[in-house]
Amino acid sequence: MLENYRKLQDLLAARAGVEATRLFAEPIVTWSNGAAAGSVSWYAEADGEVQPLLSLPPERRGRLEQSLQASLARLLPLRSDPEIGPLLSRALVLADAEGVLAVGDRVVLVDWGLIGPDATDTPAGLDAQFEATLGRFAPPGTRVGSPVAAQAASPVLPAAVATATTVPGAATAAPVGPVWNRWLLPAALAIAAVFLALGLLLGAQSIERQFAARPDTVHVGNADAVRDAVARRQAENAALQAQIEAAQRALAGNVCLADAAQVPSTVPPETPITPAMRPPPPPGGPPFQGTLVELLRQATVLVLVPKGNGLSLGTGFFIAPNEVVTNRHVVEAAGPDGIVVVNEKLGRPMRATIVAETPKAEIYHPDVAVLQVPDAPAIQPLSFTRTIGQLDTVVAAGFPGVLMSADDSFARLLQGDLAAMPSVILTDGRINAVQTASTGMPILPHSAQIAPGNSGGPLVDACGRVVGINTFINVSAAEAVHINYAEKSDAVLDFLQSKQVPATESGGPCAPGGATAVPPATDAATRPPAADAATRPPAADAAIRPPAADAAIRPPAADAAAAPPTADAPAAPAQ
């Protein structure tokens, strides 16, 4: 079934439109090589957090169920199509109801074309499996059951039956021939009936044996290798369980306490910014005197982009008076309602316009936009540094949607309270590696947790210097891995300099709170944006509307084999 994915997509596109093809995730089959078991990975081009549809809150679940019901209303009639019907009927059978997933504002099917361990691969069994999974979402009045099961054989009637009509008063002719001829036809019919019943009995027993021998599930790869792998994994699990029990018994005794002097420390929130590493103050403003937390709280902004009846949200930060940097993918869908930025220092929502942006917002390519906030007060901007190394301490600042949903100030802001200012979320971690992507762009995988809504936010070192912009994450559900990525400051500074956007760059290693000799901060560019920088006029004021969905970082299309997504609001890079 899975190998017919492309054929199914082509037929659906021709008969139901391209949108109908997006319902089915693409299966990528890894066949068994004898040593490792086979597997099936599912890929889909979708933006947002992957969750089972049945686990969603009632309001969102109801909205997505209506969308799925509309899709099924277009697909179910096609099962009677002689060309696509058999293929589509089998594709609409899922292994279980967990195969119906919600990804952002879309429904995606995985494990399609497979049957569960308790189902039978018969027309009736497939119908029952459909009813237990997708059938619950079928529109009222829609005919359920596969065409195969629906094709019941009609009884065959004799073409003609000879009858004799008795006329009242007419003479009856005497029988001709010997008397035994009367019983010849009944005897022959009785013998035929016996042989027919015997044939039906033997045929039914043969069919029953064949169905009993057929597997109830779809096996990928060599079955013996799969069983061996399962046995090995069970043995490993038993060994791990024994280790866990031994560790628990050990914990019941003396507890060893680590020496605080030997434990690596993170940056204390009250750490002051080293004077030599402070960026120049805003015009007319005093030099910054404060902690790392205070610096990030006043320089990091929530970026809101109205989209239809909702909002896309991301993060940005000041790099110069009236200039904010964010990801292009955070603001590229901005419409006539424009862009709004807000934080505690601004005191109220303020309009922003795009004055420069990279040509594209693709993963592993520069993804930067510069916003101008003409009404911003004097805010201490952040400086950049190209100096960062493996295991260096970093802090991510931003407005992840999953935490904003619990912030009362954010809820009141969306309801029109323009004095309600949500607080920036700070997470700390370390640089896992300094990498170069296949496109040549430097990237920083790190352990400072980010989520949808963090896109465009700063990743700073312990001295408050920007080492990168949080842009995307790579999530592998199969391996339970979540990797956070930042676009390294080198690529950001090169773009800003090419557009003559003012920015400050500091060199040397970070010594938080110390007085290490560090080269003074220098302007990477001091001229206003070039005339060729992309510009857009500010949009008219509009009421802030709630987000259409949770802020989201674009997850990978599927497992780790797919390109990782960016971090972003409504399901895209880390907005």
* Residue type, position 442, single letter: P
* 317 contacts 457 by C-beta, under 8 angstroms: yes
196 vs 260: CA distance, rounded Å: 89
**Residue of 391 and 269 predicted with greater confidence:** 391
Q: Taking Cα atoms as reference points, which of 101, 465, 450, 17 lies closest to residue 267?
A: 465
User: Among 32-36, 40-44, 297-301, 539-543, which is the least confidently predicted range?
Assistant: 539-543
- pLDDT-derived band at 307 (thresholds 50, 70, 90) equals confident
Q: Can you tell me whether residue 408 is helix, strand or coil?
A: helix
pLDDT for the residue 161: 32
User: Among 99-113, 187-201, 336-350, which is the least confidently predicted range?
Assistant: 187-201
Q: Taking Cα atoms as reference points, which of 346, 352, 363 lies closest to residue 326?
A: 352
Each domain of the chain, given as residue ranges in start order, spans 2-149, 275-525
Cα 31-112-37 angle, rounded to 5 deg: 20
pLDDT for the residue 571: 37
**Residue of 242 and 443 predicted with greater confidence:** 443
* 517 contacts 69 by C-beta, under 8 angstroms: no
Give how far the C-alpha of residue 437 lies from the chain's centroid of Cα atoms, to the nearest Å.
Answer: 22
Residue 204 has pLDDT above 50, yes or no: yes
- The yes/no answer on whether domain 275-525 falls in CATH 2.40.10.120 is yes
Please write down the long-range contacts of 77-85, taking CB distance under 8 Å and 24 or more positions apart: 78/12, 78/15, 78/16, 79/146, 79/147, 80/147, 81/15, 83/11, 84/8, 84/11, 84/12, 84/15, 85/147
- pLDDT-derived band at 288 (thresholds 50, 70, 90) equals confident
| Top mean-pLDDT range of 125-134, 146-155, 335-344, 463-472 | 463-472
* 515 contacts 538 by C-beta, under 8 angstroms: no
**Residue of 191 and 429 predicted with greater confidence:** 429
The secondary structure of 13-81 as a DSSP string is: HHHH-HHHHTTBPEEEEE---SSS--EEEEE----S-EEEGGGS-HHHHHHHHHHHHHHHHHHGGGGG-
572 vs 231: CA distance, rounded Å: 40
Per-chain mean pLDDT for the chain = 76
pLDDT for the residue 484: 94
Residue 414 has pLDDT above 50, yes or no: yes
* 406 contacts 451 by C-beta, under 8 angstroms: no
pLDDT for the residue 274: 60
50 vs 557: CA distance, rounded Å: 10
Residue 24, beta-bridge partner list: 109
Residue 495 has pLDDT above 70, yes or no: yes
Q: Taking Cα atoms as reference points, which of 448, 425, 403 lies closest to residue 344?
A: 425
**Mean pLDDT along residues 265-269:** 55
207 sits in which H/E element: helix 181-213
pLDDT for the residue 269: 54
How far is the CA of 521 from the CAs of 32, 147, 321, 502, 518, in angstroms?
Answer: 57, 73, 16, 13, 9
pLDDT for the residue 335: 77
Residue 536 has pLDDT above 80, yes or no: no
Residue 153 has pLDDT above 50, yes or no: no
Residue 308 has pLDDT above 70, yes or no: yes
- pLDDT-derived band at 323 (thresholds 50, 70, 90) equals very high
- What is the model's pTM? 0.48
pLDDT for the residue 197: 81
Express each pLDDT in 434-493 by its tens digit.
999 999 999 999 999 999 899 999 999 999 999 999 999 988 777 778 899 999 999 999
Residue 270 has pLDDT above 70, yes or no: no
**Helices 58-75 and 5-16: angle between axes, nearest 10 degrees:** 90
